[in-house]
Amino acid sequence: MGTRRDFLRGVLAGGAAATAGVVSAPTFARETRSRPPEALGLLYDSTLCVGCKACVAACKMANNNPAEFSTVDHLWDTPLDTSGYTFNIIKMYRNGTMDAKDQEVNGFAFMKTSCMHCADPSCVSACPVSAMTKDPETGVVGYNPDKCIGCRYCVAACPFGIPKYQYDSPTGRIGKCELCRHRHKDGHYSACAEVCPTGATLFGKTSVLLAEAKRRLAMKPGEMNRFPRGHLRHAQEKALQGKPDGKGVMMRAGWRDEPDQSYETRAGTYLPHVYGEKEYGGTQVLKLSGVNFEKLGMPNLGPDAAAAMSETIQHNLYGNLIMPFAVLGAMTWVARRNVKPEDESSGQGGKDRGQ
């Protein structure tokens, strides 16, 4: 049975070579992209959040979304999760007797759920029609319903479960936070940060927000400290004089001027971890918390974005269509020899091979 053994050997060798080739691909994967230098984002500090949900209401208004009800009386907007009509929500972690805030056992804590605006977003990589795009300057991940085909690949791809689809509509759209980019031209920033009474949600450049997050991690728990609210500007911008925009509104560095809203309060007990600094190659929305992030619904993600691997495979196989054309060329050459025009042979029909 030499032939069978040869066959088996061939199968094993071929299969092993193929496996080795493909499985070692990670080493060739392109680098996960990092945030653009001027990236905009949010800093959410769970220890400052009081769960008032002003941000949820402001988000609804800013994005013109309808109320969603989860109670019988249908009186208040009470969404239980983000959806095609709810782009931002505050969720609550509860454990045991719920004695103290930001305490994992017998405690409770809040968490904001909205788009993280990844440095290397899976939804943008997945979208076949460029309806989901990442702004090269601000890094905001935006959605264009006029291109969207409703395939929901972005919904499937996002590791944070953020893009959501409107299944109840024959013309359903994808709904997700776009950092209120439609308000930016008027100098307004994200509505959630604008209304947050405690500064738990701050808007600003991610680089500035990251520095603020690190400042907080260095604080002694319980010590009095100053905390900003609203729009966190970097030092140079703070030093600028506001200018009227001609319509009676004071502007500073392209954004509406607002008085300093910072206040003094005690620093929380933080976990030494800025969520979003490294996760998935970094996100533009950063989070601080006193309770384990996974317990608050934030997935435990490595430093590489799935898009890096996916796009590497895609471009290794199809980059500039080199491989497809090479294979097509070979196939055409072989087929040219083997395929005879039909009329030369069809006349001989009716004769079987005699098997």
Residue by residue, DSSP assigns 216-285 as HHTSPTT-EEEE--SEE--HHHHHSPPEE-SSS-EEETTEE------EEEE-----S--BTSSGGG-BSE
CA distance 141 to 174: 13
Nearer to other proteins, 127 or 208 (CB): 127
CA distance 82 to 84: 7
Nearer to other proteins, 24 or 71 (CB): 24
Nearer to other proteins, 152 or 266 (CB): 152
Do 138 and 145 touch, CB atoms closer than 8 A? no
352 binds other proteins (CB under 8 A): yes
92 binds other proteins (CB under 8 A): no
Q: Which of 171, 241, 248, 264 binds other proteins (CB under 8 A)?
A: 171
273 binds other proteins (CB under 8 A): no
**Shortest approach of other proteins to residue 145 CB, angstroms?**
7
Q: Which of 149, 240, 249, 322 binds other proteins (CB under 8 A)?
A: 149
Give the C-alpha distances (Å, rounded to integers) separating 98 from 111, 222, 272, 291, 324.
16, 20, 23, 13, 60
Q: Which of 168, 223, 239, 272 binds other proteins (CB under 8 A)?
A: 168
Nearer to other proteins, 172 or 197 (CB): 172
Which 99-128 positions form the footprint of other proteins (CB under 8 A)?
122, 125-128
Which 289-348 positions form the footprint of other proteins (CB under 8 A)?
297, 299, 301, 305-307, 309-311, 313-315, 317-318, 324, 327-328, 331-332, 334-343, 345-346, 348
Nearer to other proteins, 47 or 125 (CB): 125
What phi and psi values does residue 51 have, to the nearest 5 degrees?
A: 70, 30
Q: Which of 153, 219, 228, 277 binds other proteins (CB under 8 A)?
A: 153
Nearer to other proteins, 64 or 338 (CB): 338
CA distance 173 to 31: 32
Q: Which of 38, 50, 137, 161 binds other proteins (CB under 8 A)?
A: 161
CA distance 205 to 138: 9
Do 174 and 84 touch, CB atoms closer than 8 A? yes
List the alpha helices (DSSP H) in 152-232.
153-157, 181-184, 191-195, 206-217
Nearer to other proteins, 48 or 174 (CB): 174
Do 157 and 20 touch, CB atoms closer than 8 A? no
78 binds other proteins (CB under 8 A): no
**Shortest approach of other proteins to residue 308 CB, angstroms?**
10
Q: Which of 73, 146, 223, 264 binds other proteins (CB under 8 A)?
A: 146
Place of tokens 């053994």: 5
